[in-house]
Structure 1
Amino acid sequence: MLRNWIKSNRGFLVLLLCFGIFRTAVADWNPIPSGSMRPTLLEGDVVFVNRLAYDVKLPLTDVVLLPLGEPQRGDVVTFTSPQDGTRLIKRIAAVPGDRVEMRNEVLYINGQAAQYDAPEVVQEAVGVGAMVQATRWTERLGGHERRVQWLHGVPARSTFDAIEVPAGQYLMLGDNRDDSVDSRYIGLVPRHLLIGQARRVLVSADILGHWAPRLQRIGLPL
């Protein structure tokens, strides 16, 4: 009976197989479940991920078959946590050969301090029903800029000593600096654990409110 069912539905099964291979080797989408990349990404965003941005991998594995491009500072990437295998999305803050440190929230790359301007004070949710004041800044460093935010009164690793990023590894930071489990906690990320580069928001809904669609975020580039 099972054999007959497979035979009569083999076209559909082949389609599912091809779709699965496409998602695991070529392109994917990634829902954003937490606020670690606020204000760039919000809970309820779904982002398009280009799995061929850096490497061709054997489907369903981390085995690199062919390198295609070099990850760059400022790229927003999905990757597998070296700590527990969880899929995460963060921004590449430092690449191999960089000397990186953080002093009281200020990021330094190769001895150059980031510049921070255009401050904006907002209220941010941290947990169910809890709100704290946050300040958002435009962080400029090495020809790149992004909006980041710091939470007032929330303990975080806002300072770490200078390290040199070794070959084949990357230092990741969330844009929501005081509410992000990133390389300050899980360590550097080896290249083979990079999944792909997040390029833009596909769809978005306010999952912390009433699931209202956020039409203005559709297609937003990262």
Structure 2
Amino acid sequence: MNFALILFVALLISGGIWLFDALVTGKGRAKDAKLPLLVDYARSFFPVILVVFLLRSFLVEPFKIPSGSMLPTLEIGDFILVNKYDYGIRLPIINQKLIEVGQPQRGDVMVFRYPKDPSLDYIKRVIGLPGDVVEYREKQLIINGRPVPLARVGEYQYVGSGLNYINGQTYQEVLGEHRHTVMIQPEAPPVVVHQVEGDFPYRDNCTYNESGFKCRVPEGHYFMMGDNRDASNDSRYWGFVPDRNIVGRAFMIWWNFGEFGRIGHFIE
């Protein structure tokens, strides 16, 4: 469901009713006369809808984490806030960039529209920038020929929503300015080759085998992976994220019904 589109339609309807009454039907109405119910509702809700629409479109938008692909950084049920202007001011609904503000940086946690179905919002970490060569071999991430720093932290277990990660090993990873924790399951392959979709744009930029993959990121695109490296449906399977699909940068957990201690946690 495109909530931004719903807000926009509600904005047009309420504003249209208010404007039509001001210019046409309300011309001869006495100042102390009671407003028609529909007009009264429109006048009451239009300012509220307008403020919400502008905030969500240009400043901050809330999202809920539905899956475990970003464990341990983000847990299922986390409610997060996404900065909408860090990567440029965009027209709502059509997502057309108007003003260049900044570009995604390696290591950012980014919300984007899933290339295969833009009605779906995904969240992953930016691994590869335009022009980068990204490799993942034997659970080691390599960017432009240089292994990404990785240090063992310990074990991680998550139980909830029918998911049970018992054997996950955690590592501290450094990508650009970001120092974060990733989870690896030693027994899982770095990529399940037969699950790789064969028709995504720039598919020829990638090579796969049982030890991992290597991809060159095309201009205007980004390579995304989840922090739960062996249980994430990401760019290694369905390809690159074009700039036009970017929604914004995730920066804070603002609510979690099950773990109040996570509230206010900033996302690294």
* 1:8 alignment counterpart: 40
Equivalents in 1 of 2:190, 2:152: separation in Å?
23
1:22: how far off? 2.1
- Give the stretch that moved more between structures: 8-17 or 120-129: 120-129
- Judge conservation of contact 1:21–1:59 (CA < 8 Å) in 2: no
CA gap 1:187/1:126 in 2 versus in 1, 3 angstroms: farther
Preserved contact between residue 129 and residue 222 of structure 2 (Cα < 8 Å)? yes
Gaps of at least 5 residues in structure 1 are 207-213
Query: Distance in 1 between the 2:39 and 2:178 partners?
Result: 54
In the alignment, which residue of structure 2 is the partner of 1:138?
A: 172
The AA in structure 1 aligned to 2:262 is: R
The corresponding residue for 1:77 is: 110
2:222 alignment partner in structure 1: 170
Which of these two proteins has the greater Rg computed from alpha carbons? 2
More strand by share: 1
Residue 181 of structure 1 deviates from its aligned partner by 1.1
Number of corresponding residues: 214
Partner of 2:253: 201
Return the offset for 1:156: 5.2
In 2 relative to 1, CA 5–61 (structure 1 residues): closer, same or farther, beyond 3 Å? farther
**Deviations for 1:173-214, whole angstroms, at most 9, x for unmatched residues?**
1000011111111210011101000111111123xxxxxxx2
Aligned ranges 1:22-33 → 2 under 5 Å: 22-33=55-66
Pair 53,14 (structure 1): closer, same or farther in 2 beyond 3 Å: same
Question: Partner of 2:136 in structure 1?
Answer: 102
**1:28-69 Cα deviation digits (max 9, x unpaired):** 011111111111111111111111111111112221112210
For residues 72-100 of structure 1, what are the alpha-carbon distances to aligned partners after superposition, in whole Å with 9 as ceiling and x for unaligned? 00111100010122101111011112111
- Higher RCO (Cα < 8 Å, 6 or more apart): 1
Task: Single out whichever of 137-146 and 52-61 deviates more from structure 2.
Answer: 137-146
Which amino acid in the other structure matches residue 220 of structure 1? Answer: H
Determine if contact 2:191/2:213 at 8 Å carries over to the other structure: no
Equivalent residue runs for 1:122-137 within 5 Å: 122-125=156-159, 128=162, 130-137=164-171
RMSD: 2.2
Corresponding residue SS for 1:12: helix
Q: TM-score, normalised by structure 1?
A: 0.87
Q: Name the SS for the 1:83 alignment partner.
A: coil
Structure 2 match to 1:90: 124
1:217 equivalenced with 2:262 (yes/no)? yes
1:70 to partner: Cα distance: 1.2
1:155-185 deviations in whole A, cap 9, x for unaligned?
5517543222121110001000011111111
Give 5+ residue unaligned stretches, structure 2. 1-13, 18-35, 193-210
Separation of aligned partners in 2, 1:93 and 1:21 = 30
Deviation of residue 20 (structure 1)? Answer: 2.3
Identity fraction in percent: 35
The answer (yes or no) to whether the contact 1:132–1:151 under 8 Å persists in 2 is no
The structure that is helix-richer by fraction is 2
Instruction: For residue 17 of structure 1, report the CA deviation from its aligned partner.
Output: 3.2
Who is 1:37 aligned against? 70
